[in-house]
Amino acid sequence: MVKLIALYKKPSDIEAFDKHYAEVHMPLTSKMPGLKKVEISRIKGSPMGASEYHVMAEMYFENMEALKSSMSSPEGRASGKDLMGFAKDVVCMMIAEVEETAPVAALN
C-alpha cells in the first residue's frame, strides 16, 4: 500500500479553511480513481504543547502506479488545482510507501 499525505500548517483563517476543506476539497479528492481509504487527522498539539500543524489527510492507493495515475487523472488534477487555490502556503505533500501496519502483538 502507498499513500499521498497532505500535512497542513495552521491557516490564518481556520474557520474558512475548514469549511472549504469539508465542502469543496474533500468531495473533489474523494472522486480520485483508485482511492482505497482516506484518513483525516486533526492535530491537537504535540508532546511539548502546541503544534504548528492543523490537519493531515492520508489518501491510500494500492501501489505507486495507481497513485501516480490517479494524480494525473482529471479528478486528481481538479483536486490538485483546488489545493493550490486554498492551501498553497500551508500544505506539505508527501508520497510514501506504507512499510508496516502491525498490531502490537506482532511487534513484541
Q: Which residues of the shown chain bind its own copies in the complex (CB under 8 A)? A: 2-5, 7, 26-27, 30-31, 35-48, 51, 53, 56, 64, 71, 80, 92-104, 107-108
Residue 108 CB, nearest approach to its own copies (Å): 6
Nearer to its own copies, 80 or 86 (CB): 80
CA distance 77 to 38: 18
Whichever of 16 and 50 has its CB closer to its own copies, that residue is 50
Shortest reach from residue 88's CB to its own copies, in Å: 12
Which of 54, 50, 52 lies closest to 40 in space, CA to CA? 54
Which lies closer to its own copies via its Cβ, residue 14 or residue 92? 92
The b/e string for 66-82 (b: 16+ C-beta within 10 A; e otherwise) is bbbebbeeebbeebbeb
Give the separation between CA 74 and CA 31, rounded to whole angstroms: 10
- 33 and 73 Cβ atoms separated by less than 8 Å: yes
Q: In the bound complex, what is the minimum distance in angstroms from residue 86's beta carbon to its own copies? A: 16
